[in-house]
Chain A
Amino acid sequence: MYVAVKGGERAIENAHAWLAEERRGDTTVEELSIAQIREQLSLAVNRVMAEGSLYDPDLAALAIKQARGDLIEAIFLIRAYRTTLPRFGASEPVDTGNMACDRRISATFKDLPGGQVLGPTFDYTHRLLDFKLAADGEAPKAPTRDTEPGNVPHVTEFLNREGLIEEAPHDDTPPPDLTREPLEMPAERALRLQALTRADEGFTLGLAYSTQRGYGRNHTFVGELRIGSVPVEMEIPELGFAVEIGEVTLTECETVNQFTGSKTEPPQFTRGYGLVFGQTERKAISMALVDRALRWEELGEDNVGAPAQDAEFVLYHADNIQATGFLEHIKLPHYVDFQSELELVRKLRREAAAQQVQEAAE
């Protein structure tokens, strides 16, 4: 006899209990600490902060631990937490010209004030698995040297002086807040950049790559990539002036792109811009390429139909929390709708069969 399936609540409780066990894994193995994740998996922590839109390395590390290393799941935890936090106000725009650069490179000039500083980069490593890391070893120590803190001006300033690169328009209007207002098209550049900095790294990378392979190409040079800490200042109403409330590490990428000229402007270099929390290079560069691709209309260029040029396509599908939520929702029961489809298909097939019989009889 058929007994209706019951017990969903208990099933969920048991599933969660098993999940917790799996998260901990083999109990004879030492438990991961938040500090370990924060220190030794810092690039994962950076990604979670960037796409979670919340700068807090400890929280991000906790989220990674709870999410068993699934970074999108960790980003989800951070986003949900962020929603509940009270807002005190907005900081002043950060001055990346004031950055204490750990890393600063330019592909457009061999040498320049501030120098080419490699920083802690994977770039020139040989990708050979280092089996020594499988055992605990001595903590590595890099050589140090005293230096004078020098001026590290933006590369685009030099191009700007000659009028060779488009002026970055000075605009003090506060940009809309994606986490407080629904996304509506057409989206201004500030809103697009906001969406891109918290967009899925893989999606952004793929789109950026597509622009390099002919889907909306525009000759990109990395004018500058800089990574380091910047102070964050906020105006305190009671004081009447701004004070430094902390520091964040940022990755900033400015690209220089050729402009093929339009009906109204003489040839000039144009800009692409990427800015991301933490040392998150791949994302910052990808962001700059996609930013530039999306600017085709304001620069009077042609829409060649490349996916990276389609603002609606890019912005509506870049958020991995929305994406994974909707993707994974198809696991939920859909049997009611399936039932109605079944009935329709059966009916159409019955009618088609009846018609065949009729035609055969004639």
Chain B
Amino acid sequence: MTPLLSVQGISKHYGPHIGCADVSFDLYPGEVMGIVGESGSGKSTLLNCMAGHLAPDAGQVVFDTRPPSSSEAVGQYTDGPRDTIAMSEPERRMLGRTDWAFVHQHARDGLRMGVSAGGNVGERLMAVGARHYGDIRDKATDWLDRVEIDASRVDDRPTTFSGGMQQRLQIARNLVTGPRLVFMDEPTGGLDVSVQARLLDLLRGLVRDMGLSAIIVTHDLAVVRLLADRLMVMKDGRVVEAGLTDQVLDDPQHAYSQLLVSSVLQV
């Protein structure tokens, strides 16, 4: 089976300082990969390189593309595995609107704060050609419901939402066009514990229902325990351990992984 995403030798340096070094892995459809490490481990750099926000110094990010619908044909866009680093910017941005999604740590970075909830969710639909106001609104309302935001809030701006609601809105905005791969950067960061739990539950349900693949960067082991099938532990820009989530968390081999796991407070 072709991997949905094949990351090969991604490296990024900031002068003499290593951002991330020679990271490789394959991700298959329906799989969730967690990347854990503390601040400065390079996990966010890696995520941003993969998602096309940063240009890596070396490496490839090969995505198994599918042919675009007829209204969205762009240049020499062909289907099958393509290195997204080598893609032209129009193609990469098209990918970012359709097959890929990115959930930011701070909802404000992933939402238009001056636009209503409905407008936020509807934007990706309108960006790929939706032109019926009623249908767009219905679909947006439907999605608000799926992420457990009351439909009556459809015309409210995200500035009036709580942190957890904003994050759920960001998820709805990203998933409305049915992407196949979602990048998430500390999706539960800064949220209250009970809010986090609710969000994780929601994410788990959506990932399962939609058959999503996801790459989640987090320093919180509880997040990967709940969501990730596989895990990579990063330290100082390098992957020190990788494997099935339960295996790595229950029986960590590398000294740093052991330190991470043992540091988590058991309540």
Chain A residues close to B by CB (< 8 Å): 263-264
Q: How far is the CB of A261 from chain B (nearest CB, A)?
A: 11
In the bound complex, CA of A264 to CA of B15 (Å)? 5
**Within the assembled complex, what's the spacing in Å between the Cα atoms of A263 and B19?**
12
User: Which residues from chain B contact A264 at a C-beta distance below 8 Å?
Assistant: 15
Interface residues of B in 1-49 (CB under 8 A from A): 14-15, 17
Nearest B-chain residue to A264, judged by Cβ: B15
Interface residues of B (CB under 8 A from A): 14-15, 17
Chain A nearest CB from B57 CB (Å) reads 13
Interface of B is mostly: strand
Q: Enumerate the 4 nearest inter-chain pairs by beta-carbon distance, A residue then B residue, closest first.
A: A264-B15, A263-B15, A263-B14, A263-B17
Q: Which residues of A contact B17 (CB under 8 A)?
A: 263
Pair count A-B, CB < 8 A: 4
Of all chain A residues, which has the CB nearest B13?
A263
Q: State the CA gap A263–B17 with chains docked (Å).
A: 8
With a CB–CB cut-off of 8 A, which chain B residues contact A263?
Answer: 14-15, 17
Bound-state Cα–Cα, A258 to B164, Å: 42
CB distance from B77 to the nearest CB of A (A): 28
For B15, the chain A residues whose CB sits under 8 A away are: 263-264
Report the minimal beta-carbon distance from B69 to chain A, rounded to whole angstroms.
34
How many whole Å from B228's CB to the nearest CB in chain A?
32
What are 4 A-B contacts with C-beta separation under 8 Å? A263-B14, A263-B15, A263-B17, A264-B15
Shortest CB distance A36–B (Å): 55
B14 to chain A: which residues have CB within 8 Å? 263
Chain A residue with Cβ nearest B17? A263
Chain B nearest CB from A204 CB (Å) reads 31
Q: Which residue of B lies closest to A262 (CB)?
A: B15
Separation of A264 and B17 alpha carbons in the complex (Å): 9
Chain A: minimal CB distance from B17 (Å): 7
The CA-CA distance from A285 to B15 in the complex, in Å, is: 34
Q: In the bound complex, how far is the Cα of B131 from the Cα of A133, in angstroms? A: 73
Return B19 CB to nearest CB of chain A, in Å. 10
How distant is the Cα of A361 from the Cα of B14 in the complex, in angstroms? 69
Q: How far is the CA of A34 from the CA of B17 in the complex (A)?
A: 64
Least CB distance, B14 to chain A, in whole angstroms: 5
Give Cα distance in the complex from A348 to B149, angstroms.
Answer: 30
Minimum CB distance partner of B14 in chain A:
A263
Closest Cβ of chain B: how far from A30's Cβ, in Å? 60
A71–B143 Cα distance when bound, in Å, is: 59
Chain A min CB distance to B42 (Å):
15
| Bound-complex Cα distance A263 to B14 (A) | 6
A346 CA / B222 CA spacing, docked (Å) = 57
Minimum CB–CB distance for A301 against chain B, Å: 14
Distance in angstroms between the alpha carbons of A107 and B61 in the assembled complex: 54
Q: Which residue of B lies closest to A300 (CB)?
A: B15
> CB-nearest residue of chain B relative to A265?
B15
Rounded to whole angstroms, the CA-CA distance of A28 and B153 in the bound complex is: 74
B11 → A minimal CB distance (Å): 16
Q: How far is the CB of B23 from chain A (nearest CB, A)?
A: 20
* Assembly CA distance A272 to B14 (angstroms): 26
Distance, CA A264 to CA B16, complexed state (A):
8
Q: Give bound CA distance, A295 to B229, whole Å.
A: 46
A224 to B94, CA, bound (A): 52
A263 to B18, CA, bound (A): 11
Chain B proximity of A303: nearest CB distance (Å):
15
CA distance in complex: A263, B45 (Å): 15
Give Cα A322 to B206, complex, Å: 53
- Report the bound CA distance from A333 to B166 in whole Å: 45
User: Once bound together, how far apart are the Cα atoms of A263 and B15, in whole Å?
Assistant: 6
CB distance from B214 to the nearest CB of A (A): 31
Whole-angstrom CA separation of A263 from B16 in the bound complex: 8
Q: How far, in whole Å, are A148 and B236 apart by their CA atoms in the complex?
A: 64
A23 to chain B, nearest CB (A): 48
Bound complex: CA A264 to CA B14 (Å): 8
